[in-house]
Structure 1
Amino acid sequence: MNTLKKIAVAMFVLVPAFAHAGEAVVKWHDFDDYRDVRPSNDVKGAYHKRIAASFEKHFNKLAAKLPKGYKFNVEVTELDLAGDVQFGGMNEFRIIKPIYIPRIEFKYSVTDKDGQILSENNNVSLKDMGFMDRIKRGRDEEFYYDKRMITEWFDKEIIPKVDPQ
């Protein structure tokens, strides 16, 4: 087998074993009950599905930092996206300004491969009042400020409890 084929086989066989160690399970409440998940120029149901998919992908990305077999269970109880939807002529736009801070409230638990709870909290409330005062890193993605806030919390609160060094 030539070298290129060996590399291709290694990528498809070995990488998935390391790609997702832990997993996330996300539970949502009714999106109509959340503080601010209003779509701008989008259909409400489709926008809510996009929010759920985007945040679930992000929670799974964070859970991948956990050891294999660990589970990060999240129940989102409140969500207020960064920015505010405002009218601009015939259209609506989500305007990002420092006064429209991102907020999220949720319950979580982290369990090991045997199902033992390693960490849990039934009342996590995050808000980032200085979300626009820091350098924005990486590509410009949807819900960037909200996800950054969650990532910073996860790295500060969860990782040390699961992997104390």
Structure 2
Amino acid sequence: MRNILTSGLLWFSALGCGLLAGLYFAFSTFVMTALGRIDQAAGISAMNAINTDIVRSLFMPVFLGTTLSCAVLVVLGALRWQEPGAIAMICGGGLYVLGMFVVTAVFNVPLNDQLAAADPASTATAPLWARFLTDWTFWNHVRTVASLAATALLIVAIAAR
């Protein structure tokens, strides 16, 4: 039973990490660039609309469920570190929790909150928007790489089992 649970968590986590890596990749490679190319007020309004809708979508169960399952995998791997794939499971789960979830909570969400509080049409918002585009995108790159690397490590753990 324990092996079935661990296998299920590994598959769910690998798929969730991969799915979110793709989402973050899209933002890193073209969404943020496109938002930066349009009028400031339109770009800010679009980003704020995305931030409002994303928490009401299927994104949140995948985001939170994958984070929780990766955290559980870290614990399971630590309890059975000598088993095949356990180290990859610990590293993949830990990388995802730290590189995706913690980065989101500490960097991306506060930047989103600052942007939501700003007046999109004000010229005084221009420095905030410029900094947002640079800083948010940098931390999104971190989330992309962490999610992709976690996916790879969880696949290694699956293959090793």
The bucket for the TM-score relative to the shorter chain is under 0.3
Q: Which protein is bigger by CA-based radius of gyration?
A: 1
Greater relative contact order (CA < 8 Å, ≥ 6 in sequence): 2
Q: TM-score, normalised by structure 2?
A: 0.27
- Higher helix proportion: 2
Q: TM-score, normalised by structure 1?
A: 0.26
- Higher strand proportion: 1
